[in-house]
């Protein structure tokens, strides 16, 4: 696992956007797995700036969603489909056809989960998956004790995650759905490169357990230890509980070891 400690969220976003730009130069129709939440926004800002400046062409990029709420009416502004369209697909100038995600308003949610898992494989698999991390160590919406071999499926959110996400729903936890569709941990591990960004002190414990703790379903993000190419980008605050922080600074601060993400 490559652990890159950066000054702040903006630096983390720029670094990962550089990695995505490199990927798009190598593979213009790369399938990018995108995450929602606050953390990845600096990545999208930096990538959109590079595209606007003409330093990278993203016109053939394809975008895949990581997870989705179940039961929000189609077109709800806080559905992850609407969020990804607004934050990534439209600003990059991509058409909605370049974008795939699970159908959280399907009548048969189980079939929708299976269909999305299959669609990801049929699309050739995700080339680079952006991940955030929950304060409880979740990736996607794989909450603690998710099977490390899980596929795309329906999950029930923990109270902690609903509290964390209430800020997107007028700070009213009652409006936060209880159920979600999420790519499983097994599904996520099939992406060719996993890039997790974590910023802020609130993520420090989850980051330490992910990077330095045992691989355990209790900390779903620790499954990244099983992936042959996982990059964890953290700001100083999120790195504050890493025992090996100095080693990581020494090893990964100067790009070459992890360049080419
Ligand atoms: P956040 O969410 O980026 O809004 O903190 C991360 C997550 O829940 O995966």
Q: State which fold the 2-104+122-131+189-209+224-233 domain adopts.
A: Rossmann fold (3.40.50)
Q: Tokens 């609407």 — which residue?
A: 82
Q: Is 196 in the pocket of ligand 1 (CB under 6 A)?
A: no
Of residues 258 and 138, more confidence is placed in 138
Q: Which of 78, 83, 133 to mutate to test the pocket of ligand 1 (most atoms within 8 A of CB)?
A: 133
Q: Is 132 in the pocket of ligand 1 (CB under 6 A)?
A: yes
pLDDT digits (tens, 9 = 90+) for 96-153: 999 999 999 999 999 999 999 999 999 999 999 999 999 999 999 999 999 999 999 9
User: In this structure, is the dihedral angle defined by the CA atoms of residues 25, 28, 30 and 32, taken in order, positive or negative?
Assistant: positive
User: In this structure, is the dihedral angle defined by the CA atoms of residues 118, 123, 125 and 128, taken in order, positive or negative?
Assistant: negative
* Distance (Å) from CA 144 to ligand 1 centroid: 15
Q: Is 13 in the pocket of ligand 1 (CB under 6 A)?
A: no
Beta bridge partners of 213: none
**Residues classed as catalytic:** 67, 136, 138, 143
Q: HSE-up of 57 (CA within 13 Å, CB side)? A: 7
pTM of the model: 0.95
């Amino acid at each position: 696992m490559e652990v890159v400690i950066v000054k702040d969220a903006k630096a983390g976003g720029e670094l990962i956007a550089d990695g995505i730009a490199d990927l798009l130069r190598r593979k213009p129709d790369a399938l990018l797995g995108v995450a929602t939440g606050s953390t990845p926004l600096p990545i999208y800002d930096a990538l959109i700036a590079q595209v606007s400046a003409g330093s990278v062409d993203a016109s053939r990029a394809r975008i895949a969603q990581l997870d989705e709420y179940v039961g929000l009416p189609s077109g709800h502004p806080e559905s992850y489909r609407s969020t990804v369209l607004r934050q990534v697909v439209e600003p990059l100038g991509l058409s909605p056809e370049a974008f795939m995600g699970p159908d959280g308003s399907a009548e048969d949610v189980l079939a929708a989960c299976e269909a999305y898992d299959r669609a990801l494989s049929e699309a050739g698999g995700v080339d680079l998956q952006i991940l955030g991390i929950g304060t409880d160590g979740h990736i996607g919406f794989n909450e603690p004790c998710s099977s490390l071999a899980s596929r795309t499926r329906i999950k029930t959110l923990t109270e902690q995650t609903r509290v964390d996400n209430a800020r997107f729903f007028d700070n009213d936890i009652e409006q936060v759905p209880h159920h979600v569709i999420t790519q499983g941990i097994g599904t996520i591990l099939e992406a060719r490169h996993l890039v997790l960004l974590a910023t802020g002190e609130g993520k420090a414990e989850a980051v330490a357990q992910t990077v330095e703790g045992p691989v355990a379903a209790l900390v779903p993000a620790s499954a990244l230890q099983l992936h042959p190419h996982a990059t964890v980008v953290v700001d100083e605050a999120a790195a504050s509980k890493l025992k090996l922080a100095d080693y990581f600074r020494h090893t990964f601060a100067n790009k070459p070891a992890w360049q080419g993400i």
